[in-house]
Every structure is written in structure tokens, then in C-alpha cells.
Structure 1
Amino acid sequence: MGTRPTTDKVKEALFSMIGQFFEGGTVLDLFAGTGGLAIEALSRGMDKAIMVDMDPKSIETIRSNLKATGFESQAEVYRNDAMRALKALSKRGLLLDAVFLDPPYRMKNADEFMQLMQDKQMLAPDATLVIEHDSGYTYPETFGSFECVRHAEYGEVAISIYKFRQDAEQSAEEIGKEDQHGHIEL
């Protein structure tokens, strides 16, 4: 009862924005709650889901939902603090294709988790990251190698969808380098 599951209306809108189906890959649901978003991603073609939540009752609910949907073998479920979980996962060398961040609305630091994933090289090129947050709060359009590609509001709920643009970081590094003829490229 302590979870705030994403409503069916918002979930349908979200998946229509990020894509109806996936061609494999790994999804991370960092504040998993009931596990609904990651389970939906599995049902739409993701190969593997990693679900993290701090609340023991949420973990029970996630496991029950995985069993009911038959996705137990494709999922890993961890009871852990989000930041600690990211640091532990980063040591495994996996690349995330999609990330759902639905922290409690009082938390306004989803961008810090995204930046950590970038710093720890956890994101596949063009990874999709989704933040569900209070519609009264706005995350930046761009930061690091992230670009907001969609934003929608549904009453008190907002969805901000970011793409990880790995090439944005590389482009910035390439600015000012000399070419083979000694010319400075801009």
C-alpha cells in the first residue's frame, strides 16, 4: 500500500512514447515499487529486467507479480538503496538499454542517478531513460550526455524521457583538436 504504482493511463502513454516493442536489451527499474514498468518492458520484448526497491513489501509484490506473469527467469530483484545498487551494478559491466526512475516525488535528484550511470559507463548508446516525477518540478532539457526528447504531464504526474547521447560527450572532446594538416577543427 506504500507504493504509488504508475496508472494504466500513464503507462500506456509512456510506452507509446518510448516505443511499443523492444528488440531485446536490459532494463533497470530503480525505484521499482510493484515492478509494473519493468514487467511491461519484458512483455514488450526486453530480454532482462533488474528491479531495485528499498521496501520489503515492494520486493514481495515484485516477486509475486513476476511469478504471476511468468517473467521470473528474466528478472533480478534487489532490496537496496538506489545509489548503492547503482554502484554495485556498475561493477558487473552490464549496459542498460532502458532505465525507469520513479523515485518518491519528494526526491528531485533523478538526474544525479543518471549522471552516475553515465560516469560509471552503464548505459548503452542511445539508451532511453524515463523519469516519472511531480508535474510541479522540471528537470533540465539537457545535461551531461542526456537530452530530453519528450515531456508530458498527466495531472500531478509528469514523464520526462531522455536519450543518452554518447556522441554528445565525444563531440565536445573533439572540438579544438587538430586535424592531420595541423588545422584546428571547430
Structure 2
Amino acid sequence: MKIVSGIYGGRPLKTLEGKTTRPTSDKVRGAIFNMIGPYFDGGRVLDLYAGSGGLSIEAVSRGMSHAVLVERDRRAQAIIAANIQMTKEVGKFQFLKMEAERALEHVNGPFDLVFLDPPYAKEQIVADIEKMAERNLFSQEVMVVCETDKSVELPEEIACLGIWKEKIYGISKVTVYVR
């Protein structure tokens, strides 16, 4: 896997072997950014279930100014740390080694872009979005990108957000919420 585009474009991304994380493929990552961008003029990104960190590193590569990555799995944490080092711009990243639920108590918004790819999708996505809305973690122009199995049906509206776009890529479904 590698960074698809932007200032880090072409650089390799480490990923975790096994089934504890499901790294977003280069093809799906590229498609997600074509849906939502593809490039940005600053802003903050939150990657709540970071896995390898690929999505938020790609966002910074494409113009986001700062990313907060959250991951609880110790093996994945080592991969994320190496991937952040690969950018040679570690100051653009904040890495929280904790559960997503706990991280939501500690982070400060607003965030312009949020990635949600939790292991148990539907219920967790709804709870996370409701918690973030309650804590005012969303900017006015926020986009929340949810990656799930294609069989998962997310609600049309969650808290202050509604579905803007939804696409299926192989076994994955990408749902984008906006205000």
C-alpha cells in the first residue's frame, strides 16, 4: 500500500498483518478522496479507528493541516507511528493510543473531516457521531466518512448530519454525512 496523491504521494504505507484491522485499499482510498475532495485547503481531520493511519495521512498529504489519529490496538499503534515518521512532518499529527470512546472525551474540535471505520459498524458509528455532535466537535462544513461492510445500512440522519453520498466499492460501502 502507498499514499495515493498529494505531497506524500507514492510513499509506502506499512499495514498490519492479520484480521485485527482492515486497511482501506489504495483503490478505495483514492475513490473516497475523489468523492470528498480530492484536495483540501487546510483543516483538521479526526481518524477515530486509525488502523494503519492511511486515511488521515492521505488527508494531510492532500492539504489538511493537522490530523488526530486514535488507535487502541498495540500492534497497529507501532504501524501508525512508523507511517507518521515516514511523512517527515510529525508535527502535523497527534496520535492518541486509547479507545475511541475515551479519545472523544479528550479531543478538542472542531474537525472538518472525520473518518469512522469501527470494527462493529452501525451501532458504533451512530454512538460516535452522536457523542461528537454533543461535544461540538464538528466544524460547520464537516464531512464524516464512514466505511462499513456493504451490507450495513446506516440511518439517513444521525444527530445534526444527513447522508450526502453513498457508494459501494467491492465488499466495502462508503457513506459520507454532512450538516
TM-score category of the 2 structures, normalised to the smaller one: 0.7 to 0.9
| 1:145 is the counterpart of 2:160 | yes
The alignment partner of 2:49 has SS state of coil
Residue 101 of structure 2 corresponds to residue 83 of structure 1: yes
Instruction: Give the Cα–Cα distance (whole angstroms) in 1 for the partners of residues 61 and 169 of structure 2.
Output: 24
* Structure 1: distance between partners of 2:127 and 2:121: 14
Between 1:135-144 and 1:124-133, the stretch displaced more is 135-144
Aligned to 1:160: 175
State the identity %.
37
1:96 offset after TM fit, Å? Answer: 0.5
2:150 is matched with: 135
- Which letter maps to 2:114? V
Q: 1:70 maps to which residue?
A: 88
Larger Rg: 1
Structure-2 separation of matches of 1:108 and 1:147: 16
> 1:126: how far off?
1.8
Q: How far apart, in 2, do the equivalents of 1:124 and 1:115 lie?
A: 14
Q: Say whether residues 1:122 and 2:137 are aligned partners.
A: yes
If the length of structure 1 is used for normalisation, what is the TM-score?
0.83
TM-fit CA distance, 1:105: 4.3
Residue 31 of structure 2 aligns with an amino acid whose one-letter code is A
* Alpha-carbon contact 2:143-2:177 (below 8 Å) kept: yes
| TM-score, structure 2 normalization | 0.86
Q: Deviations over 1:122-169 (max 9, x none)?
A: 110020000000111110112321111110111221000000x2xxxx
Q: Structure 2: 5+ residue runs without aligned partners?
A: 1-16
Q: Which moved more, 1:100-109 or 1:60-69?
A: 100-109
1:109 Cα deviation after fit: 2.0
Alignment coverage as a number of residue pairs: 161
Q: 1:11-26, aligned counterparts within 5 Å?
A: 11-26=29-44
Contact 1:117 1:123 in 2 (8 A): yes
Are the counterparts in 1 of residues 122 and 153 from structure 2 also a CA contact under 8 Å?
no
Helix, strand or coil: the match of 2:28? helix
Q: Is the 8 A contact 2:65 2:92 kept in 1?
A: yes
Q: Take 2:174 and 2:123, find their aligned partners in 1: how far apart are those partners?
A: 13
Q: Are the aligned partners of 1:97 and 1:126 in contact in 2 as well (CA < 8 Å)? A: yes
Output the CA distance in 2 between the equivalents of 1:124 and 1:106.
23
Aligned-residue CA RMSD in angstroms?
Answer: 1.2
Partner of 1:97: 112
**Cα pair 1:39 1:71 within 8 Å, conserved:** no
- Structure 2 Cα separation of the partners of residues 40 and 134 of structure 1: 21
